[in-house]
Amino acid sequence: MRFALVGFLFVMWILMLIGGGIIVAVLGPISLLGDSSFPWFVSSGIKAAFAISLVIIWIFILFKVKNWIFTKELNF
């Protein structure tokens, strides 16, 4: 049971590091204001929607990993 908890925490931290890297390295430098067709709040809204969808995907992945680990540990 201890290994399952440590594994779950490891996966959680890896997903947070990958997600932070994606946000900072990929999403941060994107600028939709260069051609002046988008106001700043539209550009920020698009970035926020992408970040929120990434968080939802990470939560879904963690939920599946948690169910897989603890179902395997409890032998259902």
pLDDT tens per residue, range 47-71:
889 889 988 998 898 888 888 877 8
Reported pTM: 0.67
Report residue 7 CA to chain centroid gap: 18
pLDDT for residue 58? 86
- How is the chain split into domains, by residue range? 1-16+42-76
The CB-side HSE value for 17 (13 A sphere, CA atoms) comes to 6
Q: Distance between alpha carbon 48 and the CA centroid of its chain, in Å?
A: 13
The contacts of residue 50 (CB under 8 Å, 6+ apart) are 27
